[in-house]
Amino acid sequence: MSFLSDQPGSRPYRDGRRRLLTAITAGVLAITATAPLPAATARAAADAPWLTVSAEGFVSFSVPAAAVEAGVGQVSQLNVEGNFGPSAAWADYGLTRRGDVWTGAIGPLKPGLYSYQVTGDDTKGLKDPTNSTGVASKPLWSTFLVPGEATQLLADAPEGQGGKVETLTYRSGNEQRTARVWTPPGYRAQGPERYPVLYLRSGAGVSATDWLDLGRAKQILDNLSLRKAVKPMVVVMGDGTGDAAADAAAGGAGSGAGGDQELPELRKAVADRYRVHRDPAHQAIAGVAEGGTQALRAALSRPHDFAYAGSFSGLLTDAGARPDAAAGRHLKLLRLYTGNVTDPAYNATVRLTKALDRARVPYEFDGVNPDAGANWNAWRENLIDFAPRLFREVREHGPSAGHGRLKGEFKPPAPGTTPTPFVTEDGFVTFETTTDLKDAQHVKVWANWAPNGSWLRIPMTRAGDRWRLTAGPLDPWFYYYQWIVDGVSAKDVSNPTKVTSEPNWSSFFVAGERSRLLSDVPAGKGGKVESLTYHSNVAGADRTALVWTPPGYDPGRAQPYPVFYLQHGGGQNYTDWVEMGRAKQILDHRFLDGDLVPMVVVMGNGNVPDFNKELLENIVPAVQARYHISDDPAQQALAGLSMGGGQTFSMLKAHPGRFGYVAVFSAGFGSGAGVDAAAINNGTKLLRLYVGDRTDFVYPSFMASLTTLDSLGIRYEFDGPTPGPHGWDVWQKNLIDLTPRLFKR
C-alpha cells in the first residue's frame, strides 16, 4: 500500500519526477532562503501579496518583516490566525522567519471561505494590507476563497446579474439601528408585485454585516436566484439579539427581550420601505446561534407572525416554554440545523427535538453536520439549504447529504475524572489541564491536526479552575501535542506518554482503518525492541541504539538476517523512531501482513560530527557482534529523515555500494562534485526518495536535488510528494511505503 502518488500509471526512476513537475505547475512554493533578501527583492516582497492560494488549495504566506515592524513593532514570533482548525475552529499557524520574510504554507485546505489576521507575539494584530477583502465587524480580518465545486454558490455573480444590498435605517425604542436588505434581481420598487420576506438574525458577537462578509449571503442568494432555485424574496439581515442571548443561556424559557422586542419595529420599517407581503404566510425567520434561538422563540410563541423558521445552531433547549398550541397548525416549516459536538447547539438541539416531539410540534432536522461546529462554514450551508425551501413546495424534507443523526447529548468525562485526552470512537478529542494552570491567562493546544499533519494552536476555554477543549473530528492517526501557556510550552502532565527528545510533547492515538498500521498489534504477536549499548570512538562515550527483531527471530538459523539502519533527524535521537515514528507498530504490522522480509532494524544515534565513521566503525560492528545479521551489502539497507537523510546521502556518496538499499526522507542530495555515479548505480539495488508536499520547507531543495541526480545519471525512484509537511505524519507514511520494498530484488 502506497501513501504517495495519486497520479495514474506510476513508474519508477526519473519518470516520477517528470509527472510531479507537470502536476505542480499551478502550485506555490514557500520561500526557503536563509540569507537576507537583497534590497530590491525586499522592496518587491513588500508590494507582493502576503497570501497566495494554489489551484489545489495550498495556502502560502510571505509576510515582509519590515511591514510587520512598521505596523506593530518588533516581534519574536508571527502567527496567522484563521479558521483553519478541525471543524473550522479558529487556530494559530506559526510562520518562520527566513531572512527578511516570515513564511509558511498550509494545506491543502478544503474548498470554502476562510478568514484570517496576522498576529505578532500573540497580542499585536495586523491586517493584511495586500488583501482588499475585509470584515466590517473585525477590522483586522481578511478573507480568501479556496475554489472548488463546493464553493460555486459563494462566488460573485456575473456583473449586473445579481441582487442589490441596501442599508435600512430604523428606530427601535430610543435607538437608531441599521439592517442590510437584499432585494432580488429584477426587484421593482413600484408595481403590483409584492415579495415575501426572510429575516436573518445575528448571534452574540455576530454582526448583521457578517452575513455579507463571512456568510456570503449576497453571493448565495444571487446564485440561487440566477439558478431559479429560490422564490424571489426580500432578505433582511439585522442585529438586535440583545438580551435574548442571556435568556438563551438560561435555557430559552423566558419571553425574551432585546432582539425579540426590536423585531416588530424592524418588520414595520421593512414593510414601509419595500414592496413586501405583510401576512404570516409570506414571512420567514432564521438566525445563527442566539439569533437562531430568537427565530425559534418567534416561531413557537407567536406562530401567527411567521410561517417559516430556521434555527442555525440555535440554543433553545425546550419548545419555547409554553408553545402555542397553534404552532403546529400555522407553521409551514420549522427546520433545525446543528454542527457536530463542537457546536454548543448540539446538546441544545438534542433537548429541543425531544421537547418538540413531546409537544407534537412538527419540524424537520437537517442532520448533524460532521465537518463544522458553530461557525460560518456550517451557517453558509444552512442558508443554502434553507432558502430554497421557503414560500414554495419542495419534495425533499430529509437531512442534507452526508449529515448524520443525533446520538444523544455529548458528555465528556467530568473534570478531573480521567486522563487527558479523552478520545471518542468518532475522533472527537477532549483535552483538560490540571488545576495547576488555574491562574493562566491563555492556554492553547499545539498539535499536528492541520491538513496532512501540519501544526496548529487552538485556544482552550476556562472551565472552573481548569482549561478544556473539545476538537475534531480527527482522522484516525497518531497525534502529538503540547500546551502553550501564556506563550510558554508545557507538557500535559496528566498524559503518561513521553517523547524523550521533546519533553513537553505528549501523544494520543485515534483508531481506525486509516491508522491500522500505526496501532499496536495483539500482545505477543509483534517483534521485540531492545536497547543496544555500544562505545563510540567518535563521541568518546558509550551510546545506545534501539533494535527491532522480527517475531520468531532465531539467532541460530542458517541464513543471517538482512539488516536495516534507520536514522532520525536533527534535534532528535535514537528513541524518536519508536516514540514518534511508530516504527515498531509499522514493522510489526508489515511482518504479520506478510509484506516484510524478516530483518533486523537498527535505530542508532546520529548526533555526531562524523556519521559515516560512527556508523561503519561503531554501530555496525556492535550490531554484528550481538545479532545474527548479514555482512553482504546486498542484505543491508540505510535510510534517514531530514538530517538523517542528509547523512544517508553522504554515506552513499562516500561509500557507494556499501548499502544495497538506500532511502532518503525529506533531505537534499547537495553537490554532485566528485560523485561516482557509476559506482552508485552498480552497487545500489534501490535508491528511493521521499519528500513532503509544498508545506515541507525542504521541498524546493529536494526538487533541485532531482535535477542534480538526473544530470549525474543516477537512477532513483520517486513517486511524487507525500501529503504533509516536514514532520512525522510524512515520515511514518514513508516508512510504511519503504519497508515492503527492501531485500526483494
> Residues 442-451: pLDDT tens digits?
999 999 999 9
All three cell numbers of 347? 446538546
- Three-state SS string across 519-560, please? CCCCCCCCCEEEEEEEEECCCCEEEEEEEEECCCCCCCCCCC
Question: Residue 5: pLDDT band by 50, 70, 90 thresholds?
Answer: very low
- Amino acid identity of residue 198, one-letter, is L
In 3-state terms, the chain is what percent helix, strand and coil (to 5)? 30, 25, 45
Question: Residue 25: pLDDT band by 50, 70, 90 thresholds?
Answer: very low
Predicted pLDDT at 261: 76
Other CB atoms within 10 Å distance of the CB of residue 642: 22
Predicted pLDDT at 322: 55
- The answer to the question of residue 250 being in a domain is yes
End-to-end CA separation in angstroms for the chain = 18
Are residues 526 and 653 located together in one domain of the fold?
yes
Identify the domain boundary among 365, 389, 413: 389
Question: Residue 9: pLDDT band by 50, 70, 90 thresholds?
Answer: very low
Over residues 606-626, mean pLDDT: 98
- The answer to the question of residue 408 being in a domain is no
Predicted pLDDT at 202: 93
Are residues 446 and 297 located together in one domain of the fold?
no
Are residues 142 and 265 located together in one domain of the fold?
no
Over residues 386-401, mean pLDDT: 96
- The answer to the question of residue 208 being in a domain is yes
d(CA 501, CA 494): 19
Total domains present in the chain: 4
Of 31, 729, 735, 710, give the one whose Cα is nearest residue 448.
Answer: 729
Rounded (5°) CA angle 32-38-43:
100
All three cell numbers of 296? 425559534
Of the CA atoms within 13 Å of residue 412, those in its CB half-sphere come to 22
- The answer to the question of residue 131 being in a domain is yes
Over residues 640-663, mean pLDDT: 98
Residue 4 has pLDDT above 60, yes or no: no
What CA–CA distances, in Å, run from 682 to 286, 332, 475, 685? 72, 78, 43, 8
- The answer to the question of residue 100 being in a domain is yes
- The answer to the question of residue 215 being in a domain is yes
Predicted pLDDT at 189: 87
Question: Grid coordinates 502576503 are at which residue?
Answer: 50
Are residues 172 and 125 located together in one domain of the fold?
no
Are residues 591 and 712 located together in one domain of the fold?
yes
All three cell numbers of 324? 402555542
Are residues 579 and 451 located together in one domain of the fold?
no
Full domain range(s) for residue 566: 521-741
Over residues 367-385, mean pLDDT: 97
Are residues 235 and 98 located together in one domain of the fold?
no
pLDDT tens-digit readout, 456-507? 999 999 999 999 999 999 999 999 999 999 999 999 999 999 999 999 999 9
Neighbouring residues of 64: CB distance < 8 A, sequence distance ≥ 6: 42, 45, 46, 100, 101, 102
pLDDT tens-digit readout, 503-532? 999 999 999 999 999 999 999 999 999 999
Other CB atoms within 10 Å distance of the CB of residue 107: 25
Task: DSSP letter for 629, please.
Answer: B
Over residues 94-117, mean pLDDT: 96
Residue 251 has pLDDT above 80, yes or no: no
- The answer to the question of residue 155 being in a domain is no
Residue 256 has pLDDT above 60, yes or no: no
Predicted pLDDT at 245: 38
- H helix and E strand count, the chain: 19, 33
Question: Residue 240: pLDDT band by 50, 70, 90 thresholds?
Answer: low
CATH of the domain at 71: 2.60.40.10
Identify the domain boundary among 516, 546, 578: 516
Residue 252 has pLDDT above 70, yes or no: no
Of 527, 584, 665, 550, give the one whose Cα is nearest residue 3.
Answer: 665
- The answer to the question of residue 414 being in a domain is no
pLDDT tens-digit readout, 135-159? 999 999 999 999 999 899 999 999 9
- Three-state SS string across 432-453, please? ECCHHHCCCCCEEEEECCCHHH
d(CA 720, CA 341): 37
Are residues 511 and 525 located together in one domain of the fold?
no
Question: Grid coordinates 510571505 are at which residue?
Answer: 62
Are residues 353 and 441 located together in one domain of the fold?
no
Are residues 643 and 729 located together in one domain of the fold?
yes
- Amino acid identity of residue 591, one-letter, is F
Write out the DSSP string of 220-264: HHHHHHHTT-S---EEEEE---TTHHHHHHTTS-S---THHHHHH
Question: Residue 241: pLDDT band by 50, 70, 90 thresholds?
Answer: low
Are residues 131 and 165 located together in one domain of the fold?
no
d(CA 560, CA 296): 74
pLDDT tens-digit readout, 303-323? 789 999 999 999 988 765 555
Q: Residue 91 class from Cβ within 10 Å (0-12 exposed, 13-18 middle, 19+ buried)?
A: buried
Are residues 641 and 733 located together in one domain of the fold?
yes
CATH of the domain at 566: 3.40.50.1820
Percentage of residues in the chain with pLDDT exceeding 70? Answer: 90
Question: Residue 47: pLDDT band by 50, 70, 90 thresholds?
Answer: confident
Question: Grid coordinates 532511502 are at which residue?
Answer: 663
Identify the domain boundary among 124, 147, 170: 147
Predicted pLDDT at 692: 97
pLDDT tens-digit readout, 284-301? 999 999 999 999 998 888
d(CA 461, CA 467): 5
